[in-house]
Structure 1
Amino acid sequence: MEKIKSSLSNMILVLVGVALIVGAILAYVNHITEGPIRTKAEQTLAEGIKKVMGSSDISVAAPEVVNERIDGKQFSFTIHKVNNATGQSLGSAVESTTMGFGGELKVLVGFDVNGCILGYTILSTSETPGLGMKAGTWFQKGNKGSVIGLNPKDGELHVSKDDKNGNAIDAITASTITSRAFLKAINQAYKVYMKHNKDTQTKQERR
């Protein structure tokens, strides 16, 4: 059997063949893992909504995706309207994303019908492990920087060192940038919620 001659064209053909095979394998792996990954993400979100709304006996409406231009930049938000077992509105859980110190910080925050913060959870973060990752617990109820129970209508949430009126929050130690990003995500989520939630608007008009 004649040995294949080594040439540039043959080398290119071999590399192309290898690339096609590897590409096919990666596409197949992506196909078989796509479903489980999506299911896991949906389960995580469902549990997150229950957590931030403070109740497990709820019904959640189809998500509403809205785009808003804030401070000259385009942001996308997802609103999950939530009712209790009797169909009464509990408020909404809002997905909000901002840029932290290490990259995107995606927060899910729950608001009641008056706009008070019921709870929050971090859906994804690129922050540095350690100090920057403390956002998941630092602002929870009972902790030094808790935001639970606050209402951004009383003033935007901000770190104490920024010296603004109302809703001053103690920043995570040595992680002021992450703290500002987290609070910005909350403030933006509140603005979108108040703008797009009819139940909240009706509630306020009756006051």
Structure 2
Amino acid sequence: MKKLESSLTNMALVLTGVAVIMGGILAFVNHLTEGPINEQKNKALADGIKTVMVCDNLVVAKTDTVKQNDAKSKELTYIIYQIQDAQKKDLGAAVESTTGGFGGDLKVLVGFDPEGKILGYTLLEHAETPGLGAKADKWFQKGEKGDIIGKDPKEPLTVSKDGGQVDAITASTITSRAFLLAINNAYNAYKATPADAATGATELNDKED
């Protein structure tokens, strides 16, 4: 019996040691990769802002964070990047907006001109079904079936099935509704921020690529 107890103790010690070592290795690897991952995310965001604002040489003149409650009283966070050109002319804003899609969170970056019309958009994150909900990255672009470019969400955008003027993605009405909700919420957050963009300017141009 004593021999068995000794073996169990040794096994526990070995397993504990292995767990500690593996934890240390994982922490070290995470530390090494954290910097490059953040750099990649920042580059993707910078490229995304250029894409949705349809302009290469930009200045992020100010960044605002807006918190609003949805219809279910869930607090949602929006990040608004106030955009200027090299001459400090207001170009509008790029807004990060997240809603729940069919498969999980759907994060959209959408660009608005100073009047609130949609300049462009890109999907930053999604967990939608490949080939169906994932089509949102193309479906609502200029010239496509669900084209929303140039539209003003002052009147909320909705799918035709709900009486709106936007064609839903085939067999993906839930994703389409979630996407348009993200766009509408982004517009409301943009309009809730002050127009002035005088601090914290960050230049985004081709030299940073």
TM-score with structure 2 length normalisation? 0.89
Contact 1:113 1:199 in 2 (8 A): no
Distance in 2, Cα, partners of 1:160 & 1:138: 14
1:110-149 equivalences under 5 Å are 110-149=111-150
Tell me which amino acid in the other structure corresponds to 1:11.
M
- Return 96-105 or 67-76, whichever deviates more: 67-76
Distance in 1, Cα, partners of 2:173 & 2:27: 41
Structure 1 match to 2:183: 186
Distance in 2, Cα, partners of 1:150 & 1:197: 22
Larger RCO (alpha carbons 8 Å, 6+ apart): 2
Candidates 160, 166, 170, aligned match of 1:169 = 166
Aligned residues: 194
1:1-207 equivalences under 5 Å are 6-71=6-71, 72-153=73-154, 155-164=155-164, 168-198=165-195
State the 1:132 CA deviation: 1.1
Tell me which amino acid in the other structure corresponds to 2:30.
N
Long gaps (5+) in structure 2: 198-209
Tell me which amino acid in the other structure corresponds to 1:107.
V
Long gaps (5+) in structure 1: 201-207
Partner deviation per Cα, 1:7-45 (whole Å, 9 max, x = no partner): 222111111100001100100110000000000000000
Tell me which amino acid in the other structure corresponds to 2:86.
A
Alignment identity in percent?
57
Moved over 6 A (4+): none
- Return 106-115 or 63-72, whichever deviates more: 63-72
State the 1:62 CA deviation: 4.1
Distance in 1, Cα, partners of 2:9 & 2:125: 46
Distance in 2, Cα, partners of 1:142 & 1:134: 14
Q: What RMSD in Å do the two structures reach over aligned CA positions?
A: 1.7
